[in-house]
Chain A
Amino acid sequence: MRFIRAAVEEVVGLFVGDWTQTVVSVAILALGWFALPRLHIAGLAFVLCLALASQLVADTAAEARRARKT
């Protein structure tokens, strides 16, 4: 039973390290899913990448701040 629980935690852990980052990333992807097929603008997909990259900077900086406080 402990082995199965560890395996389930490992599978969830494959995609979720920090819940805030995961929720924001999923929201960005969902927004892209909504906007990309409707707005046929060349290179718009790079905006998706920019948004994901920006949240990486913001989220890691926030975690570093939290780590320094504790």
Chain B
Amino acid sequence: MYAQLLTFGAAFLGSAVESVEALTIVLAVGLTRGWRAPLYGTVTALVLLGVLVAVFGQLIVARVPELTLKLVIGALLVLFGLRWLHKAVLRSAGVVAMHDEDHAYAQAVRSMQGAVERRDWVGFTLALKGVFLEGLEVVFIVIAVGGTSGGLHIAVAGGLLAMVVVAAAGFIVKRPLARVPENTLKYAVGVVLTSIGTFWAAEGMGAVWPLDFVSLLGLAVLYFAASRAAIAVIRRPVAA
């Protein structure tokens, strides 16, 4: 039950963050160049991403032995999660600017000046590329958390629900979801994914965790504490 909740939650949150970024691109294209071409581009990208999940998800679940799967996916999740944590620490410490959907939207709109033809290939390609590239992270999160825990359908449901919620919110407000605490969400998902990755990678190496799944809480606390320590170290005034 807890494992399923964790799988669903991690897939939902990770997908929500990336869906917000993809939505910004689609909105920018749609509101500047018309909706037909970006919607075709979005649907094409979603079909491609769905094929990737179906093919790689099934292939991984059916063909790879459980321990090898945990080791490889766990190690990849560690690298993936650490990358998100790394960025979150630098953003929280003020070294890197916070991701701003309004700014990203304005930048995308500026890059799309020019006449729109009847068949708007620019709009189609921009939406396809934006949704597909942002969606690759969703595909990895869904396959990684779903494939390794044996709950691929739960992870797919979490990922799909996140996309539907974000798309519905974007349809209602018709502007980038700048008020979604994207940086905080990414920070939290980074801690969760790094913890899950470490848990599975160590199990794949043959380790047995004390209290089994409860150890995940300890790992999350440790990674969170380390990230706060990193922020404190970076913010510490440098001696002249």
Residues on A lying within 8 angstroms of B by beta carbon are 3, 6-7, 10-11, 14-18, 21-22, 25-26, 29, 32-33, 36-37, 42-46, 48-50, 52-54, 56-57, 59-61, 63-64, 67-68
Contact = CB atoms under 8 A, between A and B. Distances in A.
12 contacts: A3-B125, A10-B136, A11-B136, A14-B140, A17-B87, A22-B79, A45-B207, A56-B82, A56-B226, A56-B227, A60-B89, A61-B230
Nearest to A28: B78
B133 A10 contact: yes
Contacts, number: 115
Nearest to A67: B95
Interface of B: 71, 75-76, 78-80, 82-83, 85-87, 89-90, 93, 95-96, 125, 129, 132-133, 136-137, 140, 194, 198, 201-202, 205-210, 218-219, 222-223, 225-227, 229-230, 233-234, 238
Nearest to B87: A17
Contacts of A11: 136
The 8 closest A-B pairs by CB, nearest first: A53-B226, A45-B202, A37-B206, A45-B207, A15-B79, A17-B83, A36-B205, A64-B234
